[in-house]
Structure 1
Amino acid sequence: MPHIVLEYSENLENRLDMGALCHALKDAAASTGVFPPAGIRVRAHMANHVVIADGDPRHGFIDITVRLGAGRDAAAKTRATDAVFDAASDFTSEVMASTPFMLSLELREIDPEYSRKASSIRDYLPPEMH
């Protein structure tokens, strides 16, 4: 049930292909073995109104939240966060090198006691993705 959620500043809309970034993060997450591929969900939301640091409108950001079910050990969580962050860093390296830009990631565990789920996605996927 991993969710990877990106929030990003509007000024990145024409500088980065957010759809391609979502695919890159999905691929990075799947490659770790920590996230079940059938459950990976990546989405990006643009923030229309942003003030960063001194308010210079050139400043940009991407904030990534990774939410996953509880129960993984520290090594698995580190492997997962490093893989997703490294993929985001690679994808945004030109923006980082050429403009004022902030990239951040936080992993949050989902408390199973208060989490509910329903899905038919696996019914439509090949068995190797389950």
Structure 2
Amino acid sequence: MPQITVDYSEGLADGFDRPAFARDLHTAVVEIAAAKPPACKTRFRRTEDITVGPETGGHALVHVHIAMLPGRTDETKARLTETVLELLRQYVKPSGDLLLHASAEVRDLDPSYRKFEGE
């Protein structure tokens, strides 16, 4: 916890500083949502094909999904998503004339969530 997934358009691969984004995002999650630093886990998934409305070209997407154990207020979640969007503005630089669509959400993990660490 938290489980962070970042889906991003293939066209952003060269203009998205993923390591720096993850580092600063983890710092924000610790400061805003009281997560423990070693618990922050982020995976990036490159998306090859996107469509925005009737358009198949000229757009790029980034969506950050943060799933956390229950207990954070709606205000805390909103503050965290706003911080995510600020970080995306800082670390995602689309090339050419791509129009960037960025979004983020924070949700509670389902009560069935379990994990283990080790071998």
Fold conserved between structures, TM > 0.5 = yes
1 CA distance for matches of 2:102 and 2:23? 17
2 CA distance for matches of 1:90 and 1:9? 17
Q: Quick one: structure 1 residues 33 and 72, their matched pair in 2 at CA, closer, same or farther if it must change by over 3 Å?
A: closer
Determine if the alignment matches structure 1 residue 85 to structure 2 residue 85. yes
Instruction: Name which of 108, 114, 117 aligns with 1:116.
Output: 114
- TM-score, normalised relative to structure 2: 0.81
Contact 1:8-1:44 at 8 Å conserved across structures: yes
Q: Mark the runs of 5 or more structure 1 residues left unpaired by the alignment.
A: 121-130
AA at the equivalent of 1:95:
P
CA-atom RMSD in angstroms: 2.2
Q: Which has the higher helix share?
A: 1
Contact 1:29-1:84 at 8 Å conserved across structures: no
- Percent identity, aligned pairs only? 23
Q: Mark the runs of 5 or more structure 2 residues left unpaired by the alignment.
A: none
1 CA distance for matches of 2:51 and 2:10? 11
Runs (4+) off by over 6 Å: none
Deviation at 1:46, TM superposition (A): 0.2
- Provide the aligned length of Structure 1 versus Structure 2: 117
Which structure is larger by alpha-carbon Rg, 1 or 2?
1
Query: Equivalent residue for 1:2?
Result: 2
